[in-house]
Amino acid sequence: MAEKALINWVRRLAARPRTAVLRGIGDDCAVIGVPSGHEALVTTDFTLEGVHFRREWHPPESVGHRCLARGLSDIAAMGGEPRASFLSLALPSPLPHAWLDRFLEGFLALAQQFNVPLAGGDTAESPGGVLCDIVVLGSVPRGRAIPRSGARPGDAIYVTGTLGESAATLAQLRAGRKLQPRVHSRHFFPTPRIAVGRTLRGRGLASAMIDLSDGLSTDLGHLCEESRVGATVWADRIPGESSRVTLESALHGGEDYELLFTSSRRVPQALAGVKITRIGEITKAASMVLVDASGRRRPLRPAGWEHFRR
Ligand code: ADP
Ligand code: MG
C-alpha cells in the first residue's frame, strides 16, 4: 500500500467523536485542547521488532495494544489524563497487509477503551523490522503531576496489582512454548493503571510515583535516585500472581505496567478496583535493601531490563 493510501486508511479507522482532538489526521499538525487550569504531559516510547516484540511470539493485536499501553502507563504514572496519541510507523516492505490491520485493531481498541484518539503520526519504509514510536499527550491539573522525586524517608512503598506475570510469560515464550495470548493477557494485553493514577493524584495520596516497565528493582532504583533516598523492601510482601511467578521475576521482570508509589498517608487496600500492597519503606540510606521472610537483609540491586547492557 502506498503511503498516502495507508494514511487515508488509518485516518478512516481513527475517527474520533468528541474528544480533546480539535484537528486530527490530515493537517500539518494536530490541534489538541487542554482543559483550562491543566498543563500538558508528553511521553514517547519505541516499540521495536526484535527488541520489544517478536512477530513469531506476539500477535499483531498484542503489538499494537502494548505499543499504546507503554505510553498510557507513563501518563498514569504522573497521575494524568491521556488526551491524544501519535503513532509513527516504519514498516518493512514485504509486511502483509493483514499484519498492519490487526496491529491497528489492537491499538485502536485500547485507544477507544481509554478515549484517547489517534491524532497523527508518520509513516515510512523500514530497512529492517517493524519500528513503532508512540507519543501520548496528556494533561494534569497545574502543579499536580506526581514526580519520581517526591519520596521522603519514612514514606511507605506501595505497588498496584501483581508483579512478575509478564516476565514469567516471556520466559515461557523463550523456552519455545506456544501460548494463548488471551490467557496470558498480563503479558500480551497489559492494562495501564490510568484510574489508579488519577485517584492517587486527586486524593493527594502519593508523594512519588513511577510505572513498572523495566522491573521493580530497576524502577524503584530510578525513584530512589530521583528522590535521593534509599529503600527497604520485604520480599514476602511482593504480590505475585500465580505459582509460575518466582521472586526473581517479581523483583526484576519488566512490562507489568503496574504503578509503584510512595506515601506518608493511610492508603486503602484497593483503589479504582485495583489491589494496593505495601511492600516496603523509604529510608535515608543511599541504597536499597531486600529483607527475606526470616529477616535476613541483602542488597537489592537494579537487575531489570536495561538497553545497551552487555
Ligand atoms: P507531513 O509530511 O506534513 O508530516 P504526512 O504526509 O507525513 O504529513 O502525514 C499526513 C497526515 O497523516 C498527518 O496529519 C499525520 O499526522 C498523519 N499520519 C501519517 N502517518 C500516520 C500514522 N502512522 N498514524 C496516524 N497518523 C498518521
Ligand atoms: Mg510527516
| 5 CB within 6 A, ligand 1 | no
* Nearest ligand 1 atom to alpha carbon 87: 24
Query: Which ligand has the nearest atom to the CA of 4?
Result: 1
Q: How far apart are CA 52 and CA 104, in angstroms?
A: 17
Query: Which ligand has the nearest atom to the CA of 28?
Result: 1
Query: Which ligand has the nearest atom to the CA of 11?
Result: 1
| 122 CB within 6 A, ligand 1 | yes
Going by alpha carbons, the residue nearest to atom 16 of ligand 1 is: 120
Is the pLDDT confidence value at 15 over 90? no
Report the predicted TM-score, pTM, of the whole model to 2 decimal places: 0.95
Best CA proximity match to 280, nearest among 296, 263, 266, 265: 263
| 120 CB within 6 A, ligand 1 | yes
Going by alpha carbons, the residue nearest to atom 9 of ligand 1 is: 122
User: 8 CA distance to ligand 1 centroid (A)?
Assistant: 9
Q: What is the pLDDT of residues 224-281, one digit of tens each?
A: 999 999 999 999 999 997 788 999 999 999 999 999 999 999 999 999 999 999 999 9
Going by alpha carbons, the residue nearest to atom 2 of ligand 1 is: 28
Q: What is the pLDDT of residues 46-74, one digit of tens each?
A: 999 999 999 999 999 999 999 999 999 99
pLDDT band for 152, please (50, 70, 90 cuts). Answer: very high
What is residue 19's predicted lDDT score, i.e. its pLDDT?
83
| Residue 292 · residue 235 · CB < 8 Å | yes
Q: What is the mean pLDDT of the chain?
A: 95
Best CA proximity match to 203, nearest among 282, 265, 273, 277: 265
What percent of the chain clears pLDDT 70, i.e. is strictly above it?
98
pLDDT band for 306, please (50, 70, 90 cuts). Answer: confident
User: 27 CA distance to ligand 2 centroid (A)?
Assistant: 10
Q: Which three three-digit cell numbers place residue 278?
A: 505495601
Q: How far apart are CA 185 and CA 101, in angstroms?
A: 20
Q: How far is CA 90 from the centre of its chain?
A: 22
Question: Which residue from 25, 131, 134 has its CB within 8 A of the most atoms of ligand 1, so it is best to mutate?
Answer: 25
User: 85 CA distance to ligand 1 centroid (A)?
Assistant: 12
Q: Which three three-digit cell numbers place residue 297?
A: 537483609
Phi, psi dihedral angles at 153 (to 5 degrees): -50, 135
| 21 CB within 6 A, ligand 1 | no
User: 78 CA distance to ligand 2 centroid (A)?
Assistant: 29
Is the pLDDT confidence value at 310 over 70? no
pLDDT band for 17, please (50, 70, 90 cuts). Answer: low
* Nearest ligand 1 atom to alpha carbon 24: 14
Q: Mean pLDDT over residues 203-221, rounded?
A: 97
Going by alpha carbons, the residue nearest to atom 19 of ligand 1 is: 122
Least reliable range by pLDDT among 12-21, 37-46, 137-146, 165-174: 12-21
* Neighbour-count burial of 177, counting CB atoms closer than 10 A to its CB (0-12 exposed, 13-18 middle, 19+ buried): exposed
Q: Mean pLDDT over residues 204-217, rounded?
A: 97
Higher confidence at residue 198 or residue 3?
Answer: 198
The residues, ordered by sequence, that sit 6+ positions from 123 with a Cβ below 8 Å of its Cβ are 3, 6, 7, 10, 88, 89, 90, 91
User: 29 CA distance to ligand 1 centroid (A)?
Assistant: 9
* Nearest ligand 1 atom to alpha carbon 89: 23
Query: Which ligand has the nearest atom to the CA of 91?
Result: 1
Q: Mean pLDDT over residues 15-26, rounded?
A: 84
Best CA proximity match to 153, nearest among 262, 247, 44, 62: 262
Look at phi and psi of residue 20 and say left if phi exceeds 0, alpha if psi is from -120 to 50, else beta: alpha
Is the pLDDT confidence value at 84 over 80? yes
Q: Mean pLDDT over residues 203-211, rounded?
A: 98
Three state DSSP letters for the chain:
CCHHHHHHHHHHHCCCCCCCEEECECECCCEECCCCCEEEEEEEEEEEECCCECCCCCCHHHHHHHHHHHHHHHHHHCCCEEEEEEEEEEECCCCCHHHHHHHHHHHHHHHHHCCCCEEEEEEEECCCCCEEEEEEEEEEECCCCCCHHHCCCCCEEEEECCCCHHHHHHHHHHCCCCCCCCCCHHHHCCCCCHHHHHHHHHCCCCCEEEEECCCHHHHHHHHHHHHCCEEEEEHHHCCCCCCCCCHHHHHHCCCCCEEEEEECCCCCCEECCEEEEEEEEEECCCCEEEECCCCCEEECCCCCCCCCCC
Q: Which three three-digit cell numbers place residue 193?
A: 493503571
What is residue 98's predicted lDDT score, i.e. its pLDDT?
96
Query: Which ligand has the nearest atom to the CA of 25?
Result: 1
Q: Which three three-digit cell numbers place residue 147?
A: 514526580
Q: What is the pLDDT of residues 156-206, one digit of tens each?
A: 999 999 999 999 999 999 999 999 999 999 999 999 999 999 999 999 999
- Chain length of the chain: 310
Look at phi and psi of residue 273 and say left if phi exceeds 0, alpha if psi is from -120 to 50, else beta: left
